[in-house]
Amino acid sequence: MALVVYDRIQQTGTANTTVSFTLSATTTGYQSFAVVGNGNTTYYSANDGTNWEVGLGTYSTTGPTLTRTTILSSSNSGSAVTFTGTVTVFCDYPAGKAVIQDSNGNVAVTYNTSGSGSIGSLNVGGSLNSVSDTGIIASFVGTSSTYVFTALQNKTTSATSYSSYALYNDLGTVYGEIGMNSSTYLYSTAGFPNNALSTANAFFLEAGSGAELVLGTYGSNGIHFLTNGNSGTVEAMTINSSNAVGFNSSYGTSGQVLTSGGSSASPTWTTPSTTSSSGWTANSTAPFFLNATTVSSNFTVPSNYNAMTAGKVTINTGVTVTVSTGSRWVVV
């Protein structure tokens, strides 16, 4: 059953109490309700010269009849009318269902489940409220006190199915996508590599063929990476407004390097020097990284970290270099 609306449909008929209309003659210059199709619905208006009614009706070739499925408005305080005599019935475009721009060029969007209460506006061909950008072909302005969102869902549970928003360049050859894989997505069936992008239920941000993926902010605003954000966790990694990279909300200062720390430990930042075994230093005038040739104090490579030293290197007597479990120290 589909909702259909056609131009210039009008017939006369009789009302079967408040249930349906039995349709008869087609008004000259109009077409019959038969174009609606058996089982389909359409908006109608009916009157007997005194009483009137507007609603959603279901057409049937048996009779033929138009069943009064939903009453939208009427001379009977919005309830079904008991008509008398001959009734004129025609296809209508009810005011309550019409899409009309307001004086600002916006179209009100009603809440999709209750069907009542405007939560915002849809503007096609103009700009967002209080925004002067040009070239906007559609904008959504929300007035909800909680949150506003647009939803895209692919209800197919195919192993190759995903839903996404796509953006293309001027030639349509380079694109980017933001989307989500289906619950049964399978990389081998979809024909893609076995990686995180091909995981079932994965929410992804992807630069397509020929595109670079860029994460950035406009102005002095940071970029934050975190998991399980509802549990009050701190960011796993943050790039602050000074372009400094921090781990677990800890930042080093200019010239420092991360020497220890991980997901369960607070990071330790160390200032390297050319005579210390605690790290590296960069030559500011040439593309070289320098490290000492002698390890003069005890040093531990933290668990799950790798260390590299340009050799040859000498470990002084009584000095210990400890390589933790899951780590490596490579001298090249």
The ranges assigned to domains in the chain are: 10-96, 99-151, 162-207, 269-331
Enter the tokens of residue 271. Answer: 């200032």
List Cβ neighbours of 174 (8 Å cut-off, separation of 6 or more): 168, 208, 209, 210, 211
Q: Is the pLDDT of residue 67 over 90?
A: yes
Residue 276, CA distances (Å) to 90, 270, 293, 297 in order = 91, 11, 9, 8
pLDDT at res. 271: 62
Asked if residue 327 has pLDDT above 80, the reply is yes
pLDDT-above-70 percentage for the chain: 80
Q: Residue 110: is its pLDDT beyond 70?
A: no
Asked if the bond preceding 64 is cis, omega within 30° of 0, the reply is yes
Residue 291 has a pLDDT of: 79
Residue 260's pLDDT is what?
Answer: 58
Confidence at residue 123, expressed as pLDDT on a 0 to 100 scale:
61
Distance from C-alpha of 218 to C-alpha of 197, rounded to nearest angstrom: 27
Per residue in 192-246, pLDDT tens? 999 999 999 999 999 988 899 999 998 889 999 888 877 777 788 888 888 888 8
* pLDDT of 30 above 70: yes
Coil, strand or helix at 196:
helix
- C-alpha to C-alpha distance for 117 and 105, rounded to whole angstroms: 19
CB 67 within 8 A of CB 19: yes
pLDDT in tens, 259-283: 555 444 566 666 655 444 444 555 5
Position of tokens 């390297």?
A: 272
| 134 band by pLDDT with thresholds 50, 70 and 90 | confident
DSSP sequence for 208-238? -TT-------SSS--EEE-SSGGGTPPPSEE
Q: For the chain, what is the mean pLDDT?
A: 84
- pLDDT of 126 > 70? The answer is no
pLDDT over threshold 50, residue 319: yes
Give the model's pLDDT for residue 142: 72
pTM: 0.50
Per the CB < 8 A criterion, the answer to whether 21 and 89 are in contact is yes
- Say if residues 19 and 60 touch (Cβ distance below 8 Å): no
Whose tokens are 């320098």? That residue is 290
Closest CA to 296 of 281, 274, 324: 274
Q: What's the CA angle centered on 137, arms 131 and 138, to 5 degrees?
A: 75
Element (H, E) at 295: strand 294-295
Cα angle vertex 228, ends 164, 301, to 5°?
A: 110
Q: Above 50 in pLDDT, residue 161?
A: yes
Q: Say which residue the tokens 């960011």 belong to.
A: 235
**Residues 175-197: what's their mean pLDDT?**
93
Q: Percent of the chain scored above 90 by pLDDT?
A: 49
Residue-level pLDDT at 131 = 74
In this prediction, residue 153 carries a pLDDT of 87
